[in-house]
């Protein structure tokens, strides 16, 4: 049983979430964090970074043929970004639900973009769109040692958490 739990923890799903410069500038950090936290997802890494334009281009590499690519990279590198890794069952797909559609005009009320944004170019938050992207983006933004790993259940000699 303990082994099963450990294996489960080791494979726990993770996603990369970033509050873009517009979200930080508008003072929406705690609002966004609280939506993920209240849902029950676990924050395993967080830092503030101002990415270079080159780094922003790596992050958005799949969009490099799009007409808005350069402007998008300029924007992502225009100020502080809150880069995070969130963990939990179904966090990749459900994180996208919490975020809402790419275009805030099409995001339903109740979602982050639906409630807090108006323009597609200023949609305040990024979330990985699938397991492969999540893995790649976590690796791009974080070193392994920056990610919190829960202590092993088996080796824990601390008092019961009940």
Residue 90 touches which of Mg ion, ligand IDP, none (Cβ within 5-8 Å per kind): none
Smaller CB distance to Mg ion: residue 103 or 129?
A: 129
Rounded CA-CA distance 35/103 in Å is 19
CB of 57 to Mg ion, least distance (A): 14
Of 8, 59, 61, 126, the active-site residue reads: 126
With contacts defined by CB under 5 A, how many residues of the chain interact with Mg ion? 1
Local structure of 112: helix, strand or coil: helix
Closest-approach residue to ligand IDP (CB) = 102
* CB 64 to Mg ion: min, Å: 13
Identify whether 8 is a catalytic site residue. Answer: no
Interface residues for ligand IDP in 120-139 (CB under 6 A)? 120-121, 123, 126, 129
Question: How far apart (Å, rounded) are the C-alpha atoms in residues 113 and 147?
Answer: 27
3-state helix, strand, coil in the chain (%, to 5): 45, 15, 40
d(CA 54, CA 73): 8
Binding of ligand IDP at residue 44 (CB under 6 A)?
Answer: no
51 contacts 140 by C-beta, under 8 angstroms: no
Closest CA to 82 of 48, 124, 55: 48
Nearest-approach distance from CB 121 to ligand IDP, in angstroms: 4
Q: Please name the residues in contact with 75: beta carbons below 8 A apart, sequence gap of 6 or more.
A: 20, 21, 22, 121, 122
- The interface partner of residue 148, options being Mg ion, ligand IDP, none and the CB cut-off 5 to 8 Å by kind, is none
Binding-site members for ATP are 20, 68, 96, 102, 113, 123
In the complex, the residues that contact Mg ion under the rule CB under 5 A are 129
In the complex, the residues that contact ligand IDP under the rule CB under 6 A are 63, 68, 72, 102, 120-121, 123, 126, 129
Q: Which residues are identified as catalytic?
A: 126
């Amino acid at each position: 049983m303990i082994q099963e739990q450990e294996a489960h923890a080791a494979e726990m799903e993770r996603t990369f979430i970033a509050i873009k410069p517009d979200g930080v500038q508008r003072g929406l950090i705690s609002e966004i964090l609280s939506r993920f936290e209240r849902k029950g997802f676990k924050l395993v890494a967080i830092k503030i970074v101002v990415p270079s334009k080159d780094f922003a281009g790596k992050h958005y590499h799949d969009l490099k043929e799009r007409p808005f690519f350069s402007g998008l990279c300029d924007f992502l590198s225009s100020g502080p970004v809150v880069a995070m890794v969130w963990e939990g069952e179904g966090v990749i797909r459900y994180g996208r639900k919490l975020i809402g559609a790419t275009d805030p005009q099409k995001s339903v009320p109740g979602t982050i973009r639906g409630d807090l944004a108006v323009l597609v170019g200023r949609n305040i938050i990024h979330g990985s769109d699938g397991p492969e992207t999540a893995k790649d983006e976590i690796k791009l933004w974080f070193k392994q040692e920056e990610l919190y790993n829960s202590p092993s259940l088996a080796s824990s000699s601390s008092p019961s958490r009940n």
